[in-house]
Structure 1
Amino acid sequence: MTPPPPPFRFTRGKDDVAFDPAFGDDELITARAALAQGRWTDVRALLARTGTDWDLRGHRMVVLGEGKSASVWAQEWQLAEPESPDAAALTACAAVFRAAAGKQSADVAREACMRAARMAPSDPTPWLCLLILARRTGTDDEQVRAFDQVRGRHRGHHHGHHLMTQCLAERQKTDGDDPFHEVYEFAEWAAGEAGAGSPLAVLPLVALIERYRVLAVEGALPSDPSGLPYWTSSRARTSVRAGFGWWLEWQGGSSHPRLALDLNYLAFGKFHSGDTVEAAALFNRIGSQVTRVPWTYPDRDPKKAFRAARNYALGFGSS
């Protein structure tokens, strides 16, 4: 008897996975292309439509601000419309990424964020940008203050919680895998506070993965996580199970702009803890949309790592 075909099929060509921080937001992709050509009015219209959906606004602002020419065109927009909070926020976000890349003073970027925050007191986005800046160039206290301001304006802010988890995971880099490390306590607290149905249910798994990456970079753990006891511990299994439970409940519900990131974390956790059947379901849902996190192992190309894990989980063997 001829065996049935595999349940999922993916091409195995070199270009079968892609990274784009826009995560399939077509309106954002269109506006980003327009901004690169100097058409900031398209961005103005996009942000006006986004309104006070703070998670979506933060996601879109960060993706736009990362663009190579974003700073130039955002400043032109601000000159044309000096009272626009959106123009001020985009200028600030672009300044943050320039400062993080060493192309601009962190103090200048910080002041741009504060100016944007004063123009829109209820908007967590300028504070999100300050948190990005603090993670790259600031102190532990500056990270906490910026996060508190984000959370004070939107208690379930997805990007803000992920950033703070990364900030905490990066502390005490060489002390080994401390089960009482502050990142675990933070993630469990935040997930509990968020309540049922929140994507922040994935945070304990994010904490585990981010802490692993820090220890791997420092050489305290192997750079390839496959088959390590780290992923079969009770903490790991509880974190993976909680995150996967959220995803099962989410199916058929409303999406959120950074869903692809959560699914990548879940696929990572399921795959490395040995649950390849459920990992395959996640890979099928993700499709070709790989994210840099959490597939960026030390000294390993994220697309190749994602492709190898996906193909193995789907029964094609490693590539």
Structure 2
Amino acid sequence: MNLLYHPAGADDALRAAMTELAVGRWMSMRGLLVETGSNWPLRSFRTRVLGIMAAGSDVVEAWLAEEPDSYDAQVMQARVSVERALRARRQQHASAGRLEQRARVLAASVSQHDWRDPVPWLCLLTLAQLDAGQVWREHRVRAAEPMLPAGPWGLLCEVHRRDPFSREAYHRMVQFLLARRVAEAGALAEVMDFSRWAASWAAEGSPLLLLPLYSLAEQFRRRGGRWRPATWRLQWAEEPTIGYTLRAYEGWFRKADSGLRSVSDLNHLACALWAGHKLVQAAEVFDAMGPYAAWEPWASVQDYGDQQDAAKALFLRARSESYTARSHARHRGPVAGQQTRPSA
């Protein structure tokens, strides 16, 4: 089975709209957003992916010129503006400040048009990571949880009111925390505290149950760049890490709507299960992926060679080992197979 690396993952309708977008056509994007309607998790995902792709062209501007009163076109303009501001900051471009201000104004404006839609608030929350010094008052709101630092909690609350347990919103908070203390060791501790807190009250089926796995992967990535085979799998097999992994497997993977499971989340869970020697469960997650894969976290857990080639090799190794373990468990019979399942 050939691996497919595509930001749309298994979302065929999104992939088709992106194909049209690549050649400068916006009608499919408009139709896709109408079809998505008020499915807020799906709308958040699709507008984010489309915004990243459209940021390098004038397709959204062309759409707005044809339909200046289109709310969806205005939302996509906000998404595109945010992505351009992020890119300008990463490239340390002289226009970064101007683009950030433009994106903030557009997102705030469009947020007034449909109070139900979380996407404009996601745009504002995304921009918070550019304010590492927390100059803006809305980025230094006191947290309700004493152990967590001040931050854009009001913006997070606005998203949560509209789309409870929004996957993107909580990942944006992680990005803010990392940017806020990018040069300080305490940043990773804050991210871990936040991830544990979010996962502790997340509902069954919520992708927030995977946040600790993302934070742990970030810790390994920032503390030396590569995980060493002799030690890193031991850490994933021990408590509390294996506990987070199994809770994500039981509480998210087995209970979430399969149509809303992101390729990134599936890859992080499969990697964590494989690393923690829960191979039968990992095989089930690999099944759910089908041919779709993501570079992370595999690109950050290899020791040698080209990053993408090594990431693909490690993915294939983990999948093969997981399938082999499941086959052996089946041959040993139901009792042996049950022993490989996580405890309740």
1:48 aligns with one of 34, 45, 48: 34
Which residue of structure 2 lines up, in the alignment, with residue 3 of structure 1? none
Q: Answer yes or no: is 1:57 the counterpart of 2:43.
A: yes
Which residue of structure 1 lines up, in the alignment, with residue 207 of structure 2? 199
**TM-score of the two chains, using structure 1 as the length reference:** 0.80
Secondary structure in 2 matching 1:83:
coil
2:282 aligns with one of 279, 282, 289: 279
CA positional deviation for 1:172: 6.0
Which residue of structure 2 lines up, in the alignment, with residue 215 of structure 1? 223
Structure-2 separation of matches of 1:126 and 1:248? 28
Secondary structure in 2 matching 1:155:
coil
Which residue of structure 2 lines up, in the alignment, with residue 128 of structure 1? 122
CA positional deviation for 1:193: 2.7
Secondary structure in 2 matching 1:234:
coil
Structure-2 separation of matches of 1:158 and 1:312? 30
Which residue of structure 2 lines up, in the alignment, with residue 5 of structure 1? none
How many residue pairs get matched?
Answer: 293
Which residue of structure 1 lines up, in the alignment, with residue 6 of structure 2? 20
2:112 aligns with one of 99, 115, 118: 118
Q: Answer yes or no: is 1:300 the counterpart of 2:300.
A: no
Amino acid at match of 2:9: F
1:154 aligns with one of 148, 163, 166: 163
**TM-score of the two chains, using structure 2 as the length reference:** 0.75
Would the aligned equivalents of 2:298 and 2:312 in 1 still touch at CA under 8 Å? Answer: yes
CA positional deviation for 1:114: 1.9
Deviation sequence 1:14-53 (CA, Å, 0-9, x none): xx22211112111111122222333322222211111111
Map 1:252-263 to 2 at 5 A: 254-263=257-266
Deviation sequence 1:66-87 (CA, Å, 0-9, x none): 1156651111211222222210
Structure-1 separation of matches of 2:71 and 2:168? 20
CA positional deviation for 1:242: 0.5
CA positional deviation for 1:59: 0.5
Secondary structure in 1 matching 2:53:
coil
Secondary structure in 2 matching 1:19:
coil
Would the aligned equivalents of 2:196 and 2:212 in 1 still touch at CA under 8 Å? Answer: yes
Q: Answer yes or no: is 1:35 the counterpart of 2:21.
A: yes
Amino acid at match of 2:298: W
Would the aligned equivalents of 1:202 and 1:243 in 2 still touch at CA under 8 Å? Answer: yes
Which residue of structure 1 lines up, in the alignment, with residue 191 of structure 2? 183
Which residue of structure 2 lines up, in the alignment, with residue 107 of structure 1? 101
Map 1:55-94 to 2 at 5 A: 55-68=41-54, 71-94=57-80
1:133–1:306 CA distance, 2 compared to 1 (3 A): farther
Question: Larger relative contact order (C-alpha < 8 A, sep ≥ 6)?
Answer: 1
CA positional deviation for 1:236: 0.4
Give 5+ residue unaligned stretches, structure 2: 140-150, 326-344
Amino acid at match of 2:237: T
CA positional deviation for 1:126: 1.8
Deviation sequence 1:213-242 (CA, Å, 0-9, x none): 23344xxxx444664243233110110110
Secondary structure in 2 matching 1:22:
coil
Q: How many percent of aligned residue pairs carry the same amino acid?
A: 32
Structure-2 separation of matches of 1:193 and 1:129? 24
Structure-2 separation of matches of 1:94 and 1:172? 25
Give 5+ residue unaligned stretches, structure 1: 1-10
CA positional deviation for 1:56: 0.5
1:238 aligns with one of 236, 243, 246: 243
Deviation sequence 1:122-164 (CA, Å, 0-9, x none): 21112222333333x3327446254333223222111212232
CA positional deviation for 1:93: 0.9
Structure-2 separation of matches of 1:50 and 1:144? 28
CA positional deviation for 1:210: 2.7
1:70–1:287 CA distance, 2 compared to 1 (3 A): same
Would the aligned equivalents of 2:54 and 2:60 in 1 still touch at CA under 8 Å? Answer: no
Which residue of structure 2 lines up, in the alignment, with residue 164 of structure 1? 173
Would the aligned equivalents of 1:260 and 1:286 in 2 still touch at CA under 8 Å? Answer: yes
Structure-1 separation of matches of 2:166 and 2:71? 20
Which residue of structure 2 lines up, in the alignment, with residue 139 of structure 1? 132
Q: CA RMSD in A?
A: 2.9
Structure-1 separation of matches of 2:178 and 2:276? 20
Structure-2 separation of matches of 1:177 and 1:156? 23
CA positional deviation for 1:176: 8.1
CA positional deviation for 1:182: 2.5
Deviation sequence 1:80-116 (CA, Å, 0-9, x none): 2222221011111112222222275222222222222
Deviation sequence 1:283-309 (CA, Å, 0-9, x none): 232232112332231772233432333
